[in-house]
Amino acid sequence: MIATNPRDVRTQLGRNLTHGMLDALGRTIVIGEYENRVFPTEAELAKQHGVSRSVTREAVKMLTAKGLLSARPRQGTIIQPSTSWNLFDTDVLRWLLERKFSVELLRHFNQLRVAIEPEAAALAAVNADNAERKAISDGLARMQAAEEGMDNALEADIAFHVAILKASRNPFYLQFQDVVSTALRTSILFTNRIKGRSASVEAHTAVRDAIAKQNPDRARTAMRKIISDVLDLMDTVQLEKKSAGSKKSAKK
């Protein structure tokens, strides 16, 4: 069924067979391809993908490292419940998005952002040095330039938010760069169609200014506003869909 030959695996994604197989397997697992089917044994996997068992073993080991699989003699290799997947792993995140687009997932993304980024902004207000403040201002400048078509709005937005994460000077916050980037990239598929121009340059300016003035509380609330607006927008759209155009959804 899923028969693949080595050349496919090689070209698909990855500098070598193992990475190619990692990607292929990871994707099919996350998609749920094996949901009601037993996961193959090492030997079968190797045969299916046309690679040696060592390559297979290494790919499987990488997937267990990311929490997707576990292997035990006699029992075979089995898929772990999705609760034990490491969702902050770049690969897992990518696979998650490659399956059908899900508003639910996007909402979860933003529910996370609304926790992380306001606090990151507050930390940045306290901890940022001049270079980091400049990086934030540069991001903002790019957003303004994008308003007049001089720059890419999405990339500018990402640059701004990532700069703040970096300025927080907390290694854990740095880890969210991927999540935030992908969340923004995905949001645009959904958000901009509705709101025409995401804009909200003023809101971003408020964050920058608060950080410049080293005011953590103002930075936090300003950032919170940006993201909770997105969340509210998602909720209203969701409601509209539910009431199927018959009744107007109340609540602003």
Partner DNA sequence: AATGTTCATTTATACTATCAATGAGATGTC
Partner DNA sequence: GACATCTCATTGATAGTATAAATGAACATT
Distance in angstroms (rounded) separating the CA atoms of residues 13 and 19: 7
- Nearer to DNA by Cβ, of 55 and 106: the residue is 55
Does residue number 128 form part of the binding site for a copy of itself (CB under 8 A)? Answer: no
Contact 211, 164 (CB under 8 A): yes
The reply to whether 120 sits near a copy of itself by the rule CB under 8 A is yes
Q: Judged by CB, which is closer to a copy of itself: 40, or 118?
A: 118
Asked if 103 touches a copy of itself (CB under 8 A), the answer is no
Check binding of 118 to a copy of itself (CB under 8 A).
Answer: yes
Q: Which is nearer to DNA, 15 or 242 (CB)?
A: 15
Q: Does 211 bind a copy of itself (CB under 8 A)?
A: no
**DSSP β-bridge partners for residue 70:** 78
CA–CA distance, 14 with 140 (Å, rounded to integer): 35
Buried b (16+ CB within 10 A) or exposed e, 115-154: ebbbbbbbbbbeebeeebbebbbebbbbbeebeeeebebb
Query: In terms of CB distance, is 145 or 231 closer to a copy of itself?
Result: 231
Contacts (CB under 8 A) with a copy of itself, residues 155-174: 170-174
Pick from DNA, a copy of itself, none: which does 43 bind, CB < 5 to 8 A by kind?
A: DNA
CB count within 10 Å of CB 189 equals 10
Return the closest-CA partner of residue 183 out of 230, 229, 138, 240.
Answer: 230
Note whether 75 binds a copy of itself by CB under 8 A: no
With tokens 């490292």, the residue in question is 65
Q: How far is the CB of 101 from a copy of itself (least distance, A)?
A: 17
Binding a copy of itself (rule: CB under 8 A), the pick from 7, 108, 195, 197 is 108
Query: One symbol per residue from 189 to 208: x for binding a copy of itself (CB under 8 A), - otherwise; what is it?
Result: --------------------
Q: Name the residues that contact DNA, by CB under 7 A.
A: 6, 10, 15-18, 41-43, 51-55, 57, 60, 71-77
**Residue 162 contact partner, candidates a copy of itself, DNA, none, CB within 5 to 8 A by sort of partner:** none
Report, in Å, the least distance between residue 45 CB and DNA.
8
Under the rule (CB under 8 A), what is the footprint of a copy of itself?
15, 18, 22, 54, 57-58, 61-66, 72, 82-83, 86-89, 108-109, 111-112, 114-116, 118-120, 123, 170-175, 179
